[in-house]
Amino acid sequence: MALVLNEEQRLLQDTARDFLSRRAPVEALRKLRDTRDDTGYDPALWRDMCELGWASITLPEAYGGLEFGFAGLGLVIEESGRTLTASPLFASAVLGASAILLGGDEAQKEQWLPAIAAGEMTTALALEEGPHHRPHHIETTLTPAADGYTLNGSKCFVLDGHSADQLLVVARSRGESDSREGLSLVLVPRDAAGVTVQRTIMADSRNAANIRFEQVNVPADAVIGETGAAWPVLEQVLDRGRVAMAAEMLGLAKESFERTVAYLKERKQFGALIGSFQALQHRAAQIQVELELCQSVVLQALSAVDEQPEQLPLMASLAKAKLNELAKRVTNEAVQMHGGIGVTDELEIGFFLKRARAAMQILGDTGFHKDRYASLCGY
């Protein structure tokens, strides 16, 4: 497994960096936040991202995809982490597309995947039901009805849930509330009768929502895969999401570090550049070492999706745990090295600190993944 990028991958990453730095700088996120934009992202930007093929990178050509591989999508997401880009890329191209590709029947794939690839439909995974990531602790119910099923329950921290066209809802068809058995995955239109969406205003300006389902009618063909047997598919989807989120966190960590190093080279204190202070040099050197290590971890995890899927659970938890720790450390150090101005809204470095804190909780914090990694290793 190569831990260096090939020529095509480098070209894709360079293209993504150039496009996002011009069209979606951190200033764009600030504007969306300050204007309380209803959508939370720029639809024109999203259309252009889809025209570049980013929403279809991992999908087969039969469904309008490019078949470039998950590593390619990871590189794009890493660059989006550098600019804190607001878009449905993670919710739709990673979570939504993966769920339908891995779990859907042929009719569902033909209906939904080309729409996702073209940017004509966006999705959101409605999974979490509490303050901590417990992916199989599901109390939302899916019960048989005369014309299909009835959905009842509530979800929180649904990424892009307020703007998605379709909600991928994880519900329980049978079994105890903490069992892996009996889970189902269903597609529900966001504007369906009985669906109530409350957008949440996150500290890091990430788009999310709390959603309630009350006696929602779900047709039988809206169930992805077999009723009550969604866990094996859901676990793969979540691992893909964890790897992608690790890639985003790598991007924000790199950008935070590079901005901090640039600041150390220009800020003077006591008549000298603070970058000349040995204590700060040591701290920067330690971060550089961690960045190089985490770069390799993320590349290996991205490659595992396509090349070694049997290793994906281990690599996904390793990548998410390591990048949680890295993002926390780098953004902490970035703010500290900038001094008091680092925590003011005037400087963009604070945006990275806030985004890191939210990203650390998405699809499992450090403790969750260290425990999962140990369990997968037989401990």
Q: What is the pLDDT of residues 292-346, one digit of tens each?
A: 999 999 999 999 999 999 999 999 999 999 999 999 999 999 999 998 888 888 8
- Both 267 and 338 in one domain: the answer is yes
> How many residues in the chain?
379
192 and 284 belong to one structural domain: no
Which tens digits make up the pLDDT trace of 142-158? Answer: 999 988 999 999 999 99
314 and 332 part of one domain: yes
pLDDT at site 342: 84
pLDDT band at 375 (very low <50, low <70, confident <90, very high): very high
pLDDT in tens, 246-279: 999 999 999 999 999 999 998 888 888 888 889 9
- Shared domain check, 183 and 260: no
Helices of type H across 62-184:
70-83, 97-103, 106-117
Residues near 8 by Cβ (< 8 Å), separated by ≥ 6? 68, 72
Give yes or no: residues 165 and 99 share one domain.
Answer: no
Q: Parallel, antiparallel, or unpaired for β 268-269 and 272-273?
A: antiparallel
Asked if 109 and 164 sit in the same domain, the reply is no
pLDDT more than 70, % of the chain? 99
- The CATH number assigned to the domain holding 135 equals 2.40.110.10
Query: Does residue 1 register a pLDDT over 70?
Result: no
Q: pLDDT-derived band of residue 2, with 50, 70 and 90 as boundaries?
A: low
pLDDT averaged over every residue in the chain: 95
Q: Are residues 105 and 149 in the same domain?
A: no
State how beta strands 183-189 and 207-218 pair: unpaired
Please identify, among 86, 121, 156, the residue that sits at the C-terminal boundary of a domain.
121
Q: Do residues 117 and 220 both lie within one domain?
A: no
Question: Do 295 and 366 have their domain in common?
Answer: yes
Looking at the structure, tell me whether residues 198 and 255 fall in a common domain: no
Final residue of a structural domain among 93, 121, 149:
121
Parent domain of 56: 7-121
Q: Is residue 218 part of a domain?
A: yes
Write the single-letter amino acid at 45. L
Q: In the listed set 121, 138, 162, which residue is the last one of a domain according to the structure?
A: 121
Please report whether residue 2 resides in a domain. Answer: no
67 and 188 fall within a common domain: no
At residue 4, the 3 state secondary structure works out as: coil
User: What's the total number of domains in the chain?
Assistant: 3
93 and 212 assigned to the same domain: no
Is residue 267 domain-resident? yes
Query: Is residue 1 in some structural domain?
Result: no
pTM of the predicted structure, to 2 decimals: 0.96
